[in-house]
Amino acid sequence: MSAPGRVYLVGAGPGDIDLLTGRAYKAVVEAEVILYDRLIPPGLIDHAHPDAELIYVGKEGRGPSMPQAEIDRLLVEHGRAGKRVVRLKGGDPFVFGRGGEEALLLREAGIPFEVVPGITSGIAAPAYAGIPVTHRDRASAVALITGHEDPAKPESAIDWPALAAFPGTLVFYMGIGQLPRIAERLIAAGRDADEPAAVIERGTLPDQRTVVATLSTIAERAAAEGFRPPSITLVGSVAALREEGVRWFEERPLAGRSVAVTRARAQASGLATRLRALGAVALETPAIKIVPVDVGVALDPSGYDLVCLTSPNGVRLLFERLAAGGRDARALAGATVAAIGPGTARALREHGVVADVVPERFVAESLVEALAGVPVRRALVARARVARDVLPDALRARGAEVDVVELYETVAEQLDAGERAAAGAADYVTFTSSSTVRFFLDALGGADAISPRTRLVSIGPVTSATLREHGLEPHVEASEHDVDGVVAALLADAAS
């Protein structure tokens, strides 16, 4: 029999992936088996090792779920098999997460375990709603209460008179379905019916919603506005602080706006993260995929007096090809290095190369103009397989010998029905290249699949021209033709 493995009872936090702890992330990426719940941050499971066994054990309110006994069996089975197992839970495993029960089970089975705490939603959701659960003048204590007790219990374990008399903030988890009863029991036990109360739905996520009312009216208000699980209910005078100026989450510049990001998956997450930090619901709908060409084939740039790079992808793959031949940035010594745009120049700097020429406008025509005074005898243009020939044609017209090296090709990325529907109905769709336009429209089945109210954001004139070729007029065009320019243009349009 193999030696037992180790089980990690991991709290994934309240929903915003940026609130995940470093220890929790490390456990996820190193796990061999992950048993994960429904309420974990979107996209977190994508960081698991490709060979990890992923087992969904999520529990749906009022819906089907895996019995706890089966979850227990799986934890013991994989732990005894010597695996590194992560039991991944929303929030904190020891705050209404049954982590204590699972820890006792593992101890009894002789399986080593470790607890990785997470930020609990009862604290985080109110904070994102602008409600501190404690305040020196209003609440010196906070009570965390489950609003959904075990139905097998013969009677409630909650002491309603004690809660009604509690001198501080009450935070109920999983209680939206029981909210009328909770309010009724508290008021009947002596809690002030006019005390402020709040319900926070999908706390810390971009589409978080909050409603504030009194204890006697909060259930009616939440029902009228269609609040659903997962929601946190808070009762206490601190709830009034939201309207007194502590609210901040909804005041971010893109709060509540949905933005579809059509970049390649490896690049989309960076832009999506920036948009989420500004309050947007960022929809990662990558229409393209970057596929390297001639992987592992060495590239020798010596002998060229001009080397042109047209994208950050090109820079990354150029250096991979250099490395395949045992070379590094020194192979570019003696050549004039030109980059289209600051993003490409930034990628070069990450490899220790400062671009000699970066045009003011980030299109091939501007690079041709910028190179007008640069002597060119022999040039290397490293780019995508399908690209405009403006630059190599202009250099050849000057009498230069030009070699075009195709480092990668852009191909279609498949989108599922849900991704297509969400992107077509988004408030904004961002396009960072002509290929994102073509492949995105192909994935959606044509321009008619985009809502008339959706605003189209283009990175620059070439991408805008491609949109027009497909019968679409860009509503927003970045003046700086890079991702920073796209974000700036989007912010300006949202504020107008």
**DSSP string computed for 268-318:** HHHHHHHHHHTT-EEEE---EEEEESSTT-----TT-SEEEE-SHHHHHHH
Quick check: is 448 catalytic?
no
Nearest Cα residue to 286 out of 456, 436, 474:
436
Task: Please write the tens of the pLDDT for every residue from 206-219.
Answer: 889 999 999 999 99
Other beta carbons less than 10 A from residue 390's beta carbon? 14
Answer whether 303's CB lies under 8 Å from 378's CB. Answer: yes
How would you label 322-340 residue by residue, b for 16+ Cβ within 10 Å and e otherwise?
beeeebeeebbeebbbbbb
Q: What is the pLDDT of residue 208?
A: 93
Q: pLDDT above 90 covers what percent of the chain?
A: 71
**Residue position matching structure tokens 């961002």:** 430
User: Which of 42 and 490 is assigned the larger pLDDT?
Assistant: 490
Answer whether 433's CB lies under 8 Å from 408's CB. Answer: no
Helix (H) / strand (E) containing 365: helix 364-370
Contact partners, residue 50, CB within 8 Å, separation at least 6: none
Tokens representing residue 148 in the block = 């959904």
Nearest 5°: CA angle at 126, between 120 and 130? 140
Does the pLDDT of residue 155 top 70, yes or no?
Answer: no
Among 143-152, 283-292, 345-354, 435-444, which stretch is predicted with the lowest mean pLDDT? 143-152
Tokens representing residue 388 in the block = 């405009």
Q: What is the pLDDT of residue 119?
A: 97
Q: What is the DSSP letter of 416?
A: -
Highest mean pLDDT among 194-208, 271-285, 337-351, 375-389: 194-208
Helix (H) / strand (E) containing 487: helix 483-495
Q: What is the pLDDT of residue 198?
A: 98
Q: What is the pLDDT of residue 242?
A: 96
- The pTM assigned to this predicted structure is 0.76
Residue 131: pLDDT band (50, 70, 90) is: very high
Between the two ends of the chain, the Cα-to-Cα distance in Å is 68
Does the domain at 6-119 match CATH 3.40.50.720? Answer given as: no
Q: What is the pLDDT of residue 167?
A: 95
Q: What is the pLDDT of residue 288?
A: 83
- Phi and psi at residue 465, in whole multiples of 5°? -65, -40
Contact partners, residue 46, CB within 8 Å, separation at least 6: none
Does the bond joining 230 to the residue before it have cis omega, within 30 degrees of 0?
A: yes
Does the pLDDT of residue 412 top 90, yes or no?
Answer: no
Q: What is the pLDDT of residue 315?
A: 94
Same fold, 6-119 and 123-251: no
Does the pLDDT of residue 363 top 80, yes or no?
Answer: no
Q: What is the pLDDT of residue 200?
A: 98
Answer whether 255's CB lies under 8 Å from 130's CB. Answer: no
Q: Which of 59, 72, 305, 356 is catalytic?
A: 59
Residue 152: pLDDT band (50, 70, 90) is: low
Which residue type does 243 have?
E
Q: What is the pLDDT of residue 449?
A: 93
| Averaged pLDDT, 13-32 | 96
**Residue position matching structure tokens 């506005």:** 225
Task: Please write the tens of the pLDDT for every residue from 286-337.
Answer: 888 888 988 778 888 888 999 999 888 899 999 999 998 899 999 999 899 9
Answer whether 187's CB lies under 8 Å from 160's CB. Answer: no
Residue 433: pLDDT band (50, 70, 90) is: confident
Q: What is the pLDDT of residue 148?
A: 72
In angstroms and rounded to an integer, the radius of gyration of the C-alpha atoms of the chain is 28
- CA distances 282 to 113, 248, 275, 341, Å, are 36, 19, 6, 25
Task: Please write the tens of the pLDDT for every residue from 229-276.
Answer: 999 999 999 999 999 989 999 999 999 899 999 987 766 678 888 998
Q: Which of 16, 83, 92, 174 is catalytic?
A: 174
Q: What is the pLDDT of residue 268?
A: 65
Architecture of domain 258-287+413-495: 3-Layer(aba) Sandwich (3.40)
Nearest 5°: CA angle at 378, between 364 and 299? 85
| Averaged pLDDT, 475-480 | 92
Residue 480: pLDDT band (50, 70, 90) is: confident
Q: pLDDT above 70 covers what percent of the chain?
A: 96
Residues 133 and 140: their CA atoms lie apart, in Å, by 9
Give the start-to-end residue ranges of the domains of the chain.
6-119, 123-251, 258-287+413-495, 291-409
Residues 219 and 246: their CA atoms lie apart, in Å, by 23
Q: Which of 16, 37, 92, 482 is catalytic?
A: 37
- Phi and psi at residue 408, in whole multiples of 5°? -155, 165
Residues 388 and 409: their CA atoms lie apart, in Å, by 13
| Averaged pLDDT, 357-372 | 83
Residue 482: pLDDT band (50, 70, 90) is: confident
- Dmax of the chain from CA atoms? 91
Residues 335 and 307: their CA atoms lie apart, in Å, by 7
- How many residues can be counted in the chain? 496
Task: Please write the tens of the pLDDT for every residue from 89-99.
Answer: 999 999 999 99
User: Looking at the domain covering 291-409, what would its CATH class be?
Assistant: alpha beta
User: Looking at the domain covering 123-251, what would its CATH class be?
Assistant: alpha beta
Does the pLDDT of residue 151 top 70, yes or no?
Answer: no
Tokens representing residue 449 in the block = 């699949």
Q: What is the pLDDT of residue 154?
A: 58
Does the pLDDT of residue 149 top 80, yes or no?
Answer: no
Q: What is the pLDDT of residue 150?
A: 55
Segments in 138-264 forming alpha helices (H): 160-164, 179-188, 218-224
Task: Please write the tens of the pLDDT for every residue from 40-69.
Answer: 998 899 899 999 999 999 865 545 578 999
Tell me the angle at which helices 68-80 and 99-109 cross, rounded to the nearest 10 degrees: 40
Residues 226 and 228: their CA atoms lie apart, in Å, by 6
Quick check: is 59 catalytic?
yes
Average pLDDT, the chain: 91
Tokens representing residue 176 in the block = 């939206």
